[in-house]
Structure 1
């Protein structure tokens, strides 16, 4: 079963208790608005169509306000595809996560996640 990282450490399994009310932009356009972690399973299924993916997470800014928080995190996502003829291509996306968190029962959970795609590039890749 796909897993998802929880803010503050640890991981949860898709279908767990966290309320992912919204994961916006290209993911929402492709798979519809998610409601709960279980609705993210198609997203992970899509990622599994790539030969491999790597996400380099960069700087993050977090603002705390009591039991709520907002954050912006930068990421370079690499998605390697191999077609039926063995031709490899690499899609790189510069993305940002705009998150809202809520503290419940002593733990931080996602309340909303928006995915912003700043740019993408697809190019041939050699082994």
Structure 2
């Protein structure tokens, strides 16, 4: 039996990073980590500072995005990640970001960006 899918869009103000079908999404929000499957009840959630979004695509591949700020919008048929800034996990230099985590003040914008990037890379690494 094939898994049910939903349409997923990951966008930021300057680009559309991802558009495709997914079977599962995990997002870190200000109210906790949320898992989304097809036909999820409609909702809107604020993405957590320093968080990431992990996607299981319809073909079974997993991909992740470091996201800083924004919202997760869920309808019965689709999910949209509206991020202030987003980056593919595969484009992240994990060693450099870990160095930033060690030197930046905890809770600073620089620290949260690095934390988001490390989380995304580790989620699929």
Hey, which of these two has a bigger chunk of strand by percent?
Answer: 1
Hey, which of these two has a bigger chunk of helix by percent?
Answer: 2
Give the shorter-chain TM-score range: under 0.3
Normalising by structure 1, we get a TM-score of 0.26
Q: Computing the radius of gyration over CA atoms, which structure comes out larger, 1 or 2? A: 1
